[in-house]
Chain A
């Protein structure tokens, strides 16, 4: 895409407004929200959000106390009531400030103001064990963003996730879009991951002629304000399931302790537009979820979840399995990060536009859709 899309502060702000506050964004796993008062707190598009379990009902609120703007939950996740540590204001499942210590004595809000002390809430959807948030007051139905078969694939695969999950965060110096252009590019692994991933999976870039012709049709047209057509295009950016056969699936002791997802010795791959990638490089025995959260045009927070398929018996060394995955799996991610940081570092306003081949039909379509959204008159 044109360099401005990766560099410009103004486009970044527009992107936050037009993409990240309109689309459903992955927020976390229900397994981390299983108990009453368990919560996950994160910042989406600059807005601190907390998802909290109230007696098995998940609710999403702005994570700012209405009194003096303190964060209600400080940790990334945990288990405690939705009570502010500053002056003790406690909120209920509706986000209402149900308990204000010394309310009548020292605050003396008038009844109308008091009854309106309710946190801003956000829409929340759960697919299998995946929690999605939409920051819009009037969100599009999630089925408009993701195709039905993709939602079903996310649901059935995530139902097989184990509850023991390792979560890691790392701040990277590249624009989030580079990560997904890279993930949609099957020609990079033999070069970037020659000593790691490409040893176990033979990724081959192929030209899907029908998709290639479709991308030519999409890209040749002028900017389209036809929302139906644009939303149909958006849905085609999210897909997933078994991808490429593994060269070898090395048997590991812990495999016998989990209920494997599927029975294919394949690399599984799910891409959920805009910023969630799920993979299983172990034929369904384990999963990696990667989310690339935009922080600034050249800064992206990468959050990675490592987990196995659901345990069918206790396995005391599972923490060591996850820690080993962190060591091995992050090596592959680091290889991608190194490339993308180099691309980002080299970009400038006059940098040449990418010259993409026919196998890159998907990236071409995403680029067209994105530029129509950023610079055209269509809105999600």
Chain B
């Protein structure tokens, strides 16, 4: 059996390491707390000590920098040929026909509706509910207990914070950050942030 290396930092590294170890009790599961230099570049030298033929990997980095850092870390590992299968929690429910991309993490207690499409590198927290036939873009971060209605479309690198629910068929543009509890019923363009303490949406124009 191949060994598994969990690469990341902080709480998500702890969570992912414990989860994979529980899921693969007989496998050699290790962890690597990755360092960054003053310019926030990852130190990737440790990868030279591993071979894609012998080790699979999982990138466990949090949602900072609009999820770019986790995407960057995944890309660096994937680019060296390592397999990065998704983690599906033991207590997660995954409906018929749902698809989950590489390096995604579906926490225990999450519900993935039938026919849902989850791209790569997505985090889904405990008790989150992803509706029937909804679509979640790469590197999205969906906190615990978030509810996404059926056929909703969540863009790449979106962050949905605690207490957020998305109405059915609503489309949220990429890189939106919805961190104010509430029910979001209207489509949002990309790069809209609902964050404390600002009045109304914070927006990026270009």
A residues at B contact (CB < 8 Å): 31-32, 76-77, 163-171, 250-253, 301, 317, 319-320, 322-324, 326, 334
Q: Which residues of B contact A165 (CB under 8 A)?
A: 204-206
> Complex formed: what's the CA distance from A77 to B199 in Å?
15
Q: Contacts of B191 on A, CB cut-off 8 Å?
A: 319
* Chain A residues closer than 8 Å to B195, beta-carbon distance: 326
The residue in chain B whose Cβ has the minimal distance to the Cβ of A253 is: B39
Main secondary structure of the interface of A (DSSP, over half): mixed
Interface positions of B from 20 to 47, Cβ below 8 Å from A: 38-41
User: Cβ of A31: which chain B residues have Cβ within 8 Å of it?
Assistant: 205
Contact B198 A323 (CB under 8 A): no
Question: Given A164, A317, A323, A334, which contacts B177 in the complex, CB threshold below 8 Å?
Answer: A323
Contacts between the two chains (Cβ within 8 Å), count: 61
Interface size class of B (residues with CB under 8 A): 20 to 34
Are B193 and A323 in contact (CB-based, < 8 A)? Answer: yes
Contact A166 B65 (CB under 8 A): no
Report chain B residues within 8 Å CB of A320. 65-66, 68, 175
Known: A250-B39, A322-B204. 10 other contacts (CB 8 A): A32-B205, A163-B206, A164-B206, A166-B202, A166-B203, A166-B204, A167-B203, A167-B204, A171-B199, A334-B197
Query: Of all chain B residues, which has the CB nearest A166?
Result: B204
Specify which chain A residues have a CB less than 8 angstroms from the CB of B197 in the assembled complex: 170, 334
Closest to B189 in A: A78
Query: What CA separation (Å) do A79 and B165 show in the bound complex?
Result: 29
Please indicate the chain A residues that have their CB under 8 angstroms from the CB of B53 in the complex. Answer: none
B79 touches A (CB below 8 Å) = no
CB distance from A350 to the nearest CB of B (A): 32
A167-B205, A320-B66, A323-B177 known; A253 and B38 CB under 8 Å?
A: no
Residues on the A chain within 8 Å of B205, using CB: 31-32, 77, 163-165, 167
A255, closest chain B residue (CB):
B39
Closest Cβ–Cβ distance, residue A46 to chain B (whole Å)? 18
Q: Given contacts A251-B38, A324-B65, is CB(A319)–CB(B202) below 8 Å? A: no
Q: Which residues of A contact B49 (CB under 8 A)?
A: none
A7 CA to B149 CA, complexed, in Å: 48
**Smallest CB gap from B190: residue in A:** A319
Within the complex, the shortest CB–CB distance from A178 to chain B, in Å, comes to: 18
Residues of the B chain whose Cβ atoms lie less than 8 Å from the Cβ of A163: 205-206
When distances are taken between beta carbons in the complex, the residues of chain B under 8 Å from A326 are: 193, 195, 202
A168 pairs with B198, CB closer than 8 A: yes
- Once the chains are docked, how many angstroms separate the CA of A39 from the CA of B75? 39
Query: A253 contacts B193, CB within 8 Å?
Result: no
Q: Which residues of B are found within 8 Å of A324, using beta-carbon distances?
A: 65
Which A residues lie within 8 Å of B199 (CB)?
A: 169-171, 301
CA distance A250 to B38 in the complex (A): 8
Q: Which B162-206 residues sit within 8 Å CB-CB of chain A?
A: 175, 177, 191, 193, 195, 197-200, 202-206
User: How far is B191's CA from A303's CA once the two chains are assembled, in angstroms?
Assistant: 18
Query: Shortest beta-carbon distance, B174 to chain A, in Å?
Result: 9
User: Can you name 29 A-B pairs with beta carbons within 8 Å?
Assistant: A32-B205, A163-B205, A164-B204, A165-B204, A166-B203, A166-B204, A167-B202, A167-B203, A168-B198, A168-B202, A169-B199, A169-B202, A170-B198, A171-B199, A251-B39, A301-B199, A317-B65, A317-B66, A320-B65, A320-B175, A322-B204, A323-B65, A323-B66, A323-B177, A323-B193, A324-B65, A326-B193, A326-B202, A334-B197
Min CB distance, A214 to chain B, in Å? 40
- What are the residues of chain B within 8 A of A251 when measuring CB–CB? 38-39
- Ranked nearest first, the 10 interchain pairs of A and B with the lowest CB-CB distance are A320-B66, A168-B202, A320-B65, A164-B206, A317-B68, A166-B204, A168-B198, A169-B199, A320-B68, A319-B191
